[in-house]
Amino acid sequence: MENDYILVRQTSQLQGSVRVSGAKNSVLKLMAASILIPGVTRLSNVPDIADVRLMQQVLEALGVEVSWPASDSVQMDATNLTSHKAPYELVVRMRASTAVLGPLAARAGAATVALPGGCAIGARKVDMHISGLEALGAQCKIEHGYIEVAVPETGLQGAEVMLEFPSVGATENLIMAAVGAQGTTVIINAAREPEIADLIDFLISAGVTIKGRGTTRLEIEGVQTSKLTTEVEHKVVGDRIEAGTFLVAGALVGGPITVEGFNPEHLAVVLKKLREAGAELEINTDSATITREGAIKATTIQTLPYPGFPTDMQAQFMALMSVAEGASVITENVYENRFMFADEIARMGADIRIEGHHALVKGVAQLSGAPVVSPDLRGGAALVLAGLVANGETQIAGVHHIDRGYEQFCEKLRSLGARIERFS
């Protein structure tokens, strides 16, 4: 897989409809949350992507039995946990493995999780995860490259925790740890991404009382995990980022294409920006249709925690702005180093200047196909999108990055008429 590459040829028309899978950034946390359930968790609308397979391995290392009753559903049986250690070999390949910290602390009273280390898009610290767990009474230390969490005999205690920044991962870990605490935990300045609301829905259906879903102030009533429902079923929320990626493809090439299987309210700012960029959108409850007839217009974006413009859509938008009329400024506020994509698309003739966390993108009339390498998951997808409108052929290496988060990406684009092939 490491040597696979994608070949995209300039495509004059994209048409038809495409269905997005369940959200990567939700399913990974829901799988981690299954650790809390002293029985069986069944998830549907599960994308079969590399990160989900990795999370499966993390859970299996803890003694959770994982199976796939259907190609889009996964079942976890966490009746008997046999370990509380998430090994380095797995965590280093996927930062989201740290989502097991909170549920392990709550259910097993201990967690040993390798430090994820740096990653391509920035340092991505875990300080807020740790200080949050400490506020609930856990003892945390970092030793030999592992985060060691120990819960005292008296158990975790509900507390008020204020996050310095609405971190998605810290909010999720704290919610899950709070389930096993005595009393109420209040999280202030919580992240409110739709994937967090999905985790809350899951926990509510497992018997937890949580107030404030979708807001920055969450109140979680601790319960003994042994009292939780022993059979929980949940459908994973549709992937708003996958949806946004296809919508940008529509804006680039023209459309009309319809993207189904997600809630357009979860992508409100992106839809607004697509309109500003010259696209027309028709919105339904679980789909959106995009067309563009006039020129692509430059528009300014800045990434922010939800409901702001998602950082996970930044590279795709940079691809769109690369061929817009005029200049656009893209500001990245969530990560300190998420502009690696700019260097790759520059090889295709894009005119982009980076100044700190701003990118000045001057639209060019035409990109030219070139060999490029996926810098990360979203950057890889954005290179494919750029390839659709670049003249000639674009060859994209590093496809394993795309496989982490997009299910059947080439197949779905091909079903819309994209001239795209994958080679091993």
Just list the catalytic residues: 119
Of 104-112, 166-174, 256-264, 313-321, which segment contacts ligand EPU by CB under 6 A?
Answer: 166-174
Pairing assessment for the beta strands 160-162 and 184-188 based on DSSP bridges: parallel
Touching ligand EPU, residues 324-343 (CB under 6 A): 334-335
Question: Binding to ligand EPU by residue 314, rule CB under 6 A?
Answer: no
Of 126-134, 174-182, 288-296, 354-362, which segment contacts ligand EPU by CB under 6 A?
Answer: 126-134
Of 68-76, 118-126, 154-162, 315-323, which segment contacts ligand EPU by CB under 6 A?
Answer: 118-126
Contact call for residues 264 and 72 (beta carbons, < 8 A)? no
For ligand EPU, which is the closer residue by CB, 6 or 298? 6
Which residue of 12, 82, 117, 125 would you call a contact of ligand EPU, by CB under 6 A? 125
Q: How near is the Cβ of 326 to ligand EPU at its closest, in Å?
A: 28
Burial string for 298-317 (b: 16+ CB within 10 Å, else e) reads: bbebbbbbbeebbbbbbbbb
Which residue of 234, 240, 378, 401 would you call a contact of ligand EPU, by CB under 6 A? 378
For ligand EPU, which is the closer residue by CB, 52 or 321? 52
In the chain, the N- to C-terminal Cα span, in Å, equals: 7
Of 102-110, 162-170, 246-254, 314-322, which segment contacts ligand EPU by CB under 6 A?
Answer: 162-170
Is there a cis peptide before residue 103, judged by omega within 30 degrees of 0? no
For ligand EPU, which is the closer residue by CB, 178 or 370? 178
Q: How far apart are CA 24 and CA 44, in angstroms?
A: 13
CB-based burial label for 160 (10 Å; 0-12, 13-18, 19+): exposed
Any idea of the CA torsion for 191, 193, 194, 199, to the nearest 10 degrees? -40
Question: Binding to ligand EPU by residue 88, rule CB under 6 A?
Answer: no
Sign of the torsion angle spanned by Cα atoms 264, 268, 272, 277? negative
Question: Binding to ligand EPU by residue 28, rule CB under 6 A?
Answer: yes
Q: How far apart are CA 6 and CA 395, in angstroms?
A: 6
Q: How near is the Cβ of 295 to ligand EPU at its closest, in Å?
A: 29
**Which tokens is 241 given?**
């980022």
Which residue of 10, 97, 112, 167 would you call a contact of ligand EPU, by CB under 6 A? 167
Pairing assessment for the beta strands 358-362 and 327-331 based on DSSP bridges: antiparallel
Question: Binding to ligand EPU by residue 126, rule CB under 6 A?
Answer: yes
Q: Considering CB under 6 A, how many residues would be counted as binding ligand EPU?
A: 26
Question: Binding to ligand EPU by residue 142, rule CB under 6 A?
Answer: no
Q: How far apart are CA 86 and CA 83, in angstroms?
A: 8
Which residue of 22, 158, 169, 180 would you call a contact of ligand EPU, by CB under 6 A? 169
Question: Binding to ligand EPU by residue 414, rule CB under 6 A?
Answer: no
Give all strands (DSSP E) within 145-228, no chain letters: 146-150, 160-162, 184-188, 209-211, 217-221
Question: Binding to ligand EPU by residue 316, rule CB under 6 A?
Answer: no
Question: Binding to ligand EPU by residue 128, rule CB under 6 A?
Answer: yes
Q: How far apart are CA 244 and CA 259, in angstroms?
A: 9
For ligand EPU, the binding residues (CB under 6 A) are: 24-25, 28, 95-96, 122-129, 165, 167-170, 191, 311-312, 334-335, 377-378, 405
